[in-house]
Structure 1
Amino acid sequence: MRSSVRLRPLAALSAVALSAILLAGCSGGGGGDASPSASASAAADLCSSAAPSGAVSDGITVTGDFGTVPTVDFTKPIDTTDLTLQRTVQTKGTGAAIAAGDFVNYAATILDGATGSVLSQAGYTPGEILPAQISADNGGQIFGCATVGSRLTLATATGNETTPSVVYVIDVLGITPTAAWGEEQAPVAGMPTVSLGDGGAPAITIPEGQTPPTETQVATLKKGDGPVVQAGNQVLLQYTGVRWSNGETFDSTWDKGGVPTSFATNKVVAGFQKALEGQTVGSQVLVTMTPADGYGEGDINTTDLKGETLVFVIDILGTAPAATQ
């Protein structure tokens, strides 16, 4: 369907840029490869990659309720001499431990370690940051061994002359399921039927003997309780697509390890975009799209989607504004 960046100080980071910088800027130094599915061993692997605590991270004072914008205080400027990434668990949550492969919801405040000024804040309102998939070398130093409900403080030197050190306050809000969790809705007569296998993978059955619709049709199979997908948003989702002509699957995240993918709603074909925008996170959507809203008209063959009416089942797992930087 159609990161690694070094930590850089920007006073007006978008939420998406904050997410990328947070994970990439504090990554590295962990051990072991991540598995795309969570397990006890995956959680143990992340424990081994977690950054150690230190005097600087221990000395950060945070006030304010969990999940809300915090007030942060620390001795300024931070001495960057021999400073490597430090992490302190200020409050240990009672929820599940984060495992390699989990998609984590979090809120983050990033501050200048010299002045205490806020460089960026996001995640305190749903729909500001996409859930981040965590592995030993992507966020493991931050989230390793953390539990849902935890508040973490971190400090590190950046190697940047303008902002030589930064402080993070991270609230671990939850772990996003890899399948839609919304309330089941009544099926729409005449549309393909959907059954779900173990883990939520859909099987799509085309109505026998029925001609494809002349207009794109969208139905909500499960209604989620999350934020609304806005035009041009980034989305995290699972999907399966089949041809109306023969019912064969031509693309599916479920067939690629069941790992969700993400992209902007305006970077896909029109029918897929129509199926996403205006829906809520947690929803499962069924769309039957005409060739005009898919890959155009043309001769049907075994490799080309031109001329095909396409059917998708889409699980919407997260949304956030598209990156602006």
Structure 2
Amino acid sequence: MNRALRRAAPVALAASAALLLAGCAGAEPEATPTPTADAATCLEPTSGAQSDAVTVDGEFGEVPTVAFATPLAAEGLQTSVLIEGDGGKTEPGDVANVVISMFNGTTGVQLVSQPATLGMGDETLLESFRAAIDCQPYGTRTVTVAPPESLYGDQGNESIGVAAGESVVIVADIVSEYVEPEPTPLPTPSEWTENVPEVTYDADGVPTVTIPDAAPSTELQLKVLEEGDGAEVQSGDQVTVHYQGVNWDTKEVFDESFTGGQPATFGTDQVIQGFGAALVGQKVGTKLIVTIPPELGYGTEESSNGLGGHTLVFYVEIVDTASA
């Protein structure tokens, strides 16, 4: 599942940060790393002939243009510094805003290019990404030639176009220090009474949400289908839910947790506003359905995940909640 409900998770980086994590390319990362004094020491990668031969053009912090001889089979992990930043030097445990761009070593095709928020010395990151960013000064651009063993190994990552055993070229712009934003107060949903979709269940309890042939609501509205009797969700809680997201306009499911059988956990302030607002004040065990207008979802303009400008409907089952 693409976890499309995350506030900063365009589908392109199924890549969300999951592609950067060691051990499981499909793992769901924290939305934002937390600075910690327990972070490991930073990697100190060395440059090599292959990383030195990669040319990178384009404005710092923007999508770069990269050129190198293909096919490229990396001879070890190599990182070259293309721009030496003059900002403050980062330390283990610091969190930075980074632009990560990835290119297939065999074809030279761009795989991914988008912002990420990453921790220095974070041992949960794949070695190749640590080599690209660890303890570099803000304002630095690096290029890393990553062999399979430092990235996706013999499995590759078909979701972004990396075959088994392929090398990858990574360009990393370490833009600035990450500053935790002030939380935005969540709106309060009104009761949903008209044109509420029908929810049915199969033998395994997997829901089907049937969108009516009617115009969507322009307001954030919620209907409790079954009220739970557990703890009440507070703003900022880490909430565990099963959910299914449906695009009102296309009537298609765009994200859900039921197929894999495992619920998702995230903070009420780490998801789109309408979804977080639907959780706060509800009790564990509650089943609900909420309609979210574009301005409380992914905005009124077209977005990279295809959900901008659309009214979204989520069916939600609240499994657990815990204070952050």
Normalised by the length of structure 2, the TM-score is 0.46
Question: With CA pairs under 8 Å and 6+ residues apart, which has the higher RCO, 1 or 2?
Answer: 1
TM-score by length of 1: 0.46
